């Protein structure tokens, strides 16, 4: 082979090698485009963070699994305009409880979790029924299996949820020990109206001695009559305008008004999301026993206050993060199959 032939052969060899390399690159690009699309639309979103509290991170994959479980338990009747956002808040609150509970001496044992899991899966026996332990165990196992199949949760997922629920209840009860048994209270009445002019008219009629129950029946808008989602959140209509004896923080937004009113006095119209109220204090007592229903509400208030402080501490320490926006919400809805293409 002459030198010229050798050079030509080497150039041809390099050209073929380049063609092979370019072909391989083209194949890789063809494969990479759908692979990248799959990663971007399926894998990547599932790994995105939704909530992080200290050492616990919920990613979109975890979040959708829990939301789908809630949807299954609701029989598909879940309100998807609210539930996705409520779940984000619940996950954050649950982890704040989990990390904060030990600091106030609240813990949950493995046996307590076992007992609660079993109790949730076993309905109370019917009247006259006395099932044997073997029958109860068989029923529990079957109900538990069906529950896990329906929700697609693992047993560890379910036990984690039960643990958080128990801790939350225990924290609430511990904080509730500081709720007073006796406090200043007012006997409160209210009329809810659709607008301010109607509220002023109601006040005049009350001043003229009209019955508050009759006015409530006439003026309180029902949900179907109101532009608001919840027309009567305090059940003014059901209680015929009489909200009973209340201490501070039962109607927190009204405390500054009702505890300054003299008995028999009426408030100016009080605007709220659901309409306009006229409030009247019938009586006042400086020290009255708080009834059980109001004590339960005050326990909820105590838990809310505690969570607010726990949230502040975690955020200040850089140990709290939330990332749930409209784009993630849209992805969640599509994952749940609610958007028909």
198-236 pLDDT, tens per residue?
999 999 999 999 999 999 999 887 653 444 444 566 788
97-110 pLDDT, tens per residue?
999 999 999 999 99
CA-based torsion, 33, 39, 40, 41: positive or negative: positive
CATH architecture under which domain 183-285 falls: Roll (3.10)
How far apart CA 231 and CA 307 sit, in angstroms, is 29
User: Tokens in use for 85?
Assistant: 């956002």
pLDDT category of residue 6 using cuts at 50, 70 and 90: low
Closest of 60, 82, 230, 73 to residue 151, by C-alpha: 73
Domain boundaries, the chain: 49-177+302-335, 183-285
Q: How many CB atoms lie within 10 A of CB 67?
A: 22
- For the CA atoms of the chain, what is the radius of gyration? 31
pLDDT category of residue 10 using cuts at 50, 70 and 90: low
167-177 pLDDT, tens per residue?
999 999 999 99
């Amino acid at each position: 082979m002459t030198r010229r032939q050798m050079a030509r052969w080497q150039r041809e060899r390099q050209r073929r090698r380049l063609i092979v390399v370019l072909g391989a690159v083209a194949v890789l690009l063809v494969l990479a485009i759908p692979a990248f699309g799959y990663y971007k639309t399926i894998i990547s979103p599932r790994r995105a963070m939704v909530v992080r509290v200290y050492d616990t991170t919920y990613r979109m994959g975890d979040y959708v699994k829990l939301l789908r479980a809630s949807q299954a338990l609701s029989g598909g009747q879940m309100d998807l305009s609210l539930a996705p956002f409520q779940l984000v808040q619940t996950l954050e609150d649950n982890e704040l409880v989990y990390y904060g509970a030990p600091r106030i001496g609240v813990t949950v044992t493995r046996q307590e979790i076992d007992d609660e899991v079993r109790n949730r899966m076993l309905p109370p026996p019917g009247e006259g029924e006395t099932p044997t332990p073997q029958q109860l165990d068989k029923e529990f196992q079957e109900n538990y299996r069906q529950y896990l199949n329906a929700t697609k949760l693992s047993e560890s997922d379910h036990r984690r949820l039960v643990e958080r629920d128990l801790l939350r209840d225990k924290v609430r009860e511990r904080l509730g020990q500081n709720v007073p048994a006796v406090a200043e209270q007012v006997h409160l009445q209210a009329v809810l109206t659709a607008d301010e002019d109607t509220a002023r008219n109601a006040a005049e009629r009350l001043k003229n001695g009209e019955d508050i129950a009759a006015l409530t029946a006439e003026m309180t808008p029902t949900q179907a009559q109101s532009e608001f989602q919840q027309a009567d959140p305090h059940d003014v209509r059901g209680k015929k305008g009489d909200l009973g004896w209340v201490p501070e923080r039962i109607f927190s937004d009204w405390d500054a008004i009702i505890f300054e009113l003299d008995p028999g006095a009426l408030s100016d119209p009080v605007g709220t999301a659901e309409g306009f109220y006229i409030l009247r204090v019938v009586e006042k007592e400086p020290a009255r026993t708080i009834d059980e229903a109001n004590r339960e509400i005050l326990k909820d208030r105590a838990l809310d206050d505690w969570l607010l402080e726990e949230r502040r501490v975690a955020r200040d320490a850089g140990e709290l993060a939330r990332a749930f926006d409209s784009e993630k919400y849209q992805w969640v809805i599509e994952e749940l199959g609610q958007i028909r293409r």
